[in-house]
Amino acid sequence: MKKYISRVVKVGPYKLGGNNPVRVQSMCNTDTRDVKATVKQILALEKIGCEIVRVAVPDMVAAKAIGKIKKQIHIPLVADIHFDYQLALEAVAQGIDKVRINPGNIGSDEKVRAVVMACKKNKVPIRIGINGGSLEKDILKKYKNKVTAKGMVESAMRHIKILEKHNFKDILISLKASDIKRTVEAYRLLSKKVKYPLHIGVTEAGTIFRGTIMSSIGLGILLYEGIGATLRVSLTADPLDEIGVAWEILKSLKLRKKGVTVTSCPTCGRTQIDLINLAKKVEEAVKDIDKDIHIAVMGCVVNGPGEAREADIGVAGGKGMGAIFAKGKVIKSVKEDQILSALLEEIEKIK
């Protein structure tokens, strides 16, 4: 894997960029003004592995709620702000950990300077968020009213230069489009122009099924190329559904370790146990186990232990039986109705 080495920017306790781990981010879909509901959702997100969370700040009531929310959560909080610089100033005053705002959209140089000075004083970084659906009119005109990767990068550079003019460099950048090709191309182009940490994602990816596929492909390509300091899987779903997908993407590329990894074979005509339901039951039974272990659920003893020899523990099905194996070696055989309990018993022994 190649690596895009950026400068390091601190968000809460996390160092982003450089050689630091890629962090998992999500966004609340609660009304930020409803502190109780927002805190409840953030705590639920924390529990399953969300490391940074963003909230919408549409007005001053929402901005003033940030302080109350911050007191009750344990992960960095990001304020999502559009156009109104006063909301950014209030968010900073309330203790926000990062502000997402595009400096070119908040008015005069004086307003930009006010936000920059507040962020500098409080060590709050700014994320520039470029979205393919909201490019500046002159950039769209330049590219014949088409949203292009080059146009997205041009927009990002415009906003970056505004902050750099004020000697502000605690910057993160995102370039999100609703299609994979344009998103990937935009990040590739920008990574050759700047050395700021990049927040990656495919926006408007869709519902759980399609959105998971879109995000896995787009983020997978970028992460494999070493691009990405933070990521969000954007789904039209409960934000909690985004976290599991994000972690599986990172784990599949061996970029992060968290909890159990379950692999299972696709089944074939040699399978003589109910492998599909067994795999589902194993996955459900181990989802909350906080051990960095690899479990394999294989359909037959012909290839099972051999193909899954790198697994810490696993099972290979036989005719109404299951062979429990560790590191490719069979340690015991049990009846089919005892496979799950026997497997879990062996998992418990792993330190």
pLDDT value, residue 303: 66
| Local structure of 7: helix, strand or coil | coil
pLDDT tens profile 268-303: 887 888 889 999 999 999 988 888 889 999 888 766
pLDDT tens profile 214-237: 999 999 999 999 999 999 999 999
Cβ atoms < 10 Å from Cβ of 321? 17
Residue 74 contacts by C-beta under 8 Å, 6 or more apart in sequence?
Answer: 46
Q: Where are the domains of the chain?
A: 9-252, 261-349
Total-model pTM: 0.90
And the tokens for 35? 């502190």
pLDDT value, residue 300: 81
Q: Which residues of the chain have pLDDT under 50?
A: none
As its CATH architecture, domain 9-252 has: Alpha-Beta Barrel (3.20)
> Shortest CA distance to 197 belongs to which of 175, 166, 177?
175
CATH number of 261-349: 3.30.413.10
pLDDT value, residue 2: 64
Tell me what the pLDDT averaged over the chain comes to.
92
